[in-house]
Structure 1
Amino acid sequence: MKIALLGYGKMGQTIERIALERGHEIVLKKDEFNTYDGLSNADVAIDFSIPMVAVSNISSCFHANVPVISGTTGWLEHYDEMATLCKEKNGAFISSSNFSLGVNLFFELNDYLAKMMAKFDSYRVEMEEIHHTQKLDAPSGTAISLAKGVIANSNYTGWALEKPESTHPSKSELAKQIPIDAIRTENVPGTHTVSYISEVDTIEIKHTAHNRDGFALGAVIAAEWIVGKKGIFTMKDVLNFNN
């Protein structure tokens, strides 16, 4: 399989190593200093760039008829626009806040726990995410996905970065918001904790990434899966969770 890497930072380099180990070829390493020359030769593109260039990268793939796997976060206000373009160009697309196989299992566990805990209003939900200081967006896309999973399966209506004290919400409004604490520290690939807290105890689920390899491997597996397909998919499709 011929892969175009859109973004060649630490994640792009890790994806390159794992892709080569799995017998694939890299035909483009796109960074800020070069062009999309070579993109049309790719069987699939993997985008781990930065928010301000993600839309350009993804749209270039659709115009070149190249399936795209995007792990960039912080650009999702343009997601509907990219989804529409994908359909117009009869393309193939997976965008995920986290391609790690372990994190996607964690998403499923989070959904299941949220359904169970929705019956017990004595517990409140809080989330914490810890990442390296180079991460540009906060909270992380993974934390937002976790919050959306809880919201879809409970009476919560939204999330807020830390506690939204500046807006002076009412107690009832605050109770419907999931507070997310985003911590940035050196050399942390990613840790996410979902806590259900009551006056008498706390129930927690936690995922800790030890390195970037899990994210990279999941992205390469998604790339292998999407070749030859048309449409918009998720990691649930790749991992067959929908069945």
Structure 2
Amino acid sequence: MKIALVGYGKMGKAIEEIALKRGHEIVLKLDIDNQHEFTKENLAKADVAIEFTSPHSAYNNVSKLLEWNVPTVCGSTGWLDKWDTVRKYTDENNRALVYASNYSVGVNIFFEINKRLAELMAPHAEYDVRLEEIHHTEKKDSPSGTAVSLAEQILERIARKTKWINEESDNASDLVILSERVDPAPGTHIALYTSAIDDIEIIHTAHNRTGFATGAVLAAEFVKDKKGIFSMKEVLGL
């Protein structure tokens, strides 16, 4: 498979390493220094594009890739205020897109555990719930996309929580997300339920970027010959 990397930072390089190990070819590496190469002609060389950039550039990148009919795997977070526009375009024009806030196989299993735990805890109002996340200082969005996904999964299942908030709160209906940025920290996410009697917590800790990169390449392999919008749930068959 021929892959174009849109974004060649630490994640892009980790994806390249995994892709090459799995027998794929990198035909284009795009970064801030060679944006003039981000053209329809160059992307036509690729079977799939993997986009990992930043919140301020992701929407434009994904829009162009879909316009040029390049199956796309997007891992950038912080731009989902424009998600409805992208989803509508993808559906109406029969394009192919995988989006996930986190491509780690372990994190996506963690998502399923988080949903189930929230369902089990929903009837037990004596437990409060909060989220904590730790990332490296280069992480541009806060809270992380993964933390927001975890929060939304909890809000869908626990009616006493009505919105998430990225700071401490005395309002019982707020789902607190506490974000910390320290180095080195590829990523830790905690869902913590506390009561006067006991605590329950689930934790996912990434040791490096390999898990995220592997998931992104698996997503590229999955979407190459498909049409539609997919998540890691479909990629992993969860």
Same fold (TM over 0.5): yes
Q: Secondary structure of 1:125's match?
A: strand
Which amino acid in structure 2 is aligned with residue 9 of structure 1?
G
Matched, 1:69 2:87: no
Matched, 1:188 2:182: no
**Aligned-pair distance for 1:57?**
1.0
Matched, 1:57 2:61: yes
Which of the numbers 103, 113, 118 marks the counterpart of 1:114?
118
Distance 1:49 1:218 in 2: 16
**Aligned-pair distance for 1:25?**
0.5
Which of the numbers 93, 96, 99 marks the counterpart of 1:95?
99
Distance 2:192 2:150 in 1: 11
Q: Secondary structure of 2:132's match?
A: strand
Structure 1 gap segments, 5+ residues each? 165-170
1:46-66 residue CA offsets vs partner (Å, 9 max, x unmatched): 111011110111011111111
State the match for 1:7 in structure 2.
7
State the match for 2:208 in structure 1.
211
Counting only pairs closer than 5 Å after superposition, residues 1-243 of structure 1 correspond to structure 2 as 1-34=1-34, 35-37=37-39, 38-155=42-159, 156-164=161-169, 174-241=171-238
Which amino acid in structure 2 is aligned with residue 74 of structure 1?
G
Distance 1:89 1:56 in 2: 17
Distance 1:146 1:25 in 2: 34
Which amino acid in structure 2 is aligned with residue 20 of structure 1?
L
**Aligned-pair distance for 1:88?**
3.0
1:21-74 residue CA offsets vs partner (Å, 9 max, x unmatched): 000011111111222142111111111101111011101111111111111001
CA RMSD for the aligned pairs?
1.0
Distance 2:222 2:57 in 1: 25
Identity %: 52
**Aligned-pair distance for 1:89?**
2.5
Distance 1:185 1:90 in 2: 42
Q: Secondary structure of 2:139's match?
A: coil
**Aligned-pair distance for 1:233?**
0.9
Q: Secondary structure of 1:204's match?
A: strand
Contact 1:28 1:36 in 2 (8 A): no
Please report the TM-score for the alignment, with normalisation by the length of structure 1.
0.94
Distance 1:160 1:11 in 2: 28
Structure 2 gap segments, 5+ residues each? none
Which amino acid in structure 1 is aligned with residue 193 of structure 2?
Y
Which amino acid in structure 1 is aligned with residue 44 of structure 2?
S
**Aligned-pair distance for 1:176?**
1.6
Please report the TM-score for the alignment, with normalisation by the length of structure 2.
0.96
**Aligned-pair distance for 1:235?**
0.9
1:108-129 residue CA offsets vs partner (Å, 9 max, x unmatched): 0000000000011100001100
State the match for 1:168 in structure 2.
none
Distance 1:59 1:40 in 2: 15
Distance 2:62 2:153 in 1: 25
Distance 1:43 1:89 in 2: 18
Aligned length: 233
Distance 2:29 2:94 in 1: 25
Distance 2:53 2:127 in 1: 38
